[in-house]
Amino acid sequence: MRSLARQFEDPIHDAQLAFRQLLTALSRPGTAVLLRQPAGSPVPLNGTMTAIALTLVDGDCPSWLSRSIATDDVRDYLHLHTNALLTAEPEAANLAFVGDPVDLPPLSRFNPGEAASPDKATTVVIRLPSLTGGRTVTLSGPGIETSAAIAPAGLPDWFWPDWEKNAARYPLGVDVFLTDDTHVIGLPRSTRAEW
């Protein structure tokens, strides 16, 4: 039960700061943003994923957990600190947390939003072993002056072709946060990728 007591040291201030950092990551696609970490995290979540959960999850936000992180400790932690409403179906989630890229379903399995309310789409948080050292991908689109290069490690080979299908659906489609143990990269659905 000790893990249930650990959260942001100053829950309101730290969550507001983390929210601004997440907005920065989405408004500047391809930029790795250092994210405020909570005092502790329930295993097997890392600090970055826990910070995103503490900042964005609440009782009105259905959330989905991939099998690698859908443990009792994580469920109890999210229930205690966020009043999380967890769903077993990716398409029903407003937020999805993928603890290992091998657990990532096709992006089409998540809710792309609707024409009248594209903001209802799922935001997918993917934990990677590193945000560097992988295949170089060139990003373009809103928030990027000309182009931005990233090389996240650990994404499945099908991810970037699937991302292009997602981006082609704009203004519908999912948004993604790529994370490691300390940083986050935002990929809004308006971002195009070449690899």
Q: What is the pLDDT of residues 82-94, one digit of tens each?
A: 999 999 999 999 9
Contact 134, 185 (CB under 8 A): no
| pLDDT tens digits, one per residue of 63-81 | 999 999 999 999 999 999 9
pLDDT of residue 1: 45
| pLDDT tens digits, one per residue of 33-46 | 999 999 889 999 99
Global confidence as pTM: 0.95
Binning pLDDT at 50, 70 and 90, where does residue 8 land?
A: confident
Cβ neighbours for 42, distance < 8 A, ≥ 6 positions apart: 3, 4, 6, 50, 71, 73, 74, 76, 77
Binning pLDDT at 50, 70 and 90, where does residue 163 land?
A: very high
Of 68, 38, 67, the closest CA to residue 53 belongs to: 38
pLDDT of residue 88: 97
pLDDT above 90 (res 2) = no
Binning pLDDT at 50, 70 and 90, where does residue 3 land?
A: very low
| pLDDT tens digits, one per residue of 92-144 | 999 999 999 999 999 999 999 999 999 899 999 999 999 999 999 999 999 99
Q: Round to whole Å and give the CA distance between 154 and 151.
A: 10
Q: Round to whole Å and give the CA distance between 30 and 164.
A: 15
More confident residue, 137 or 9: 137
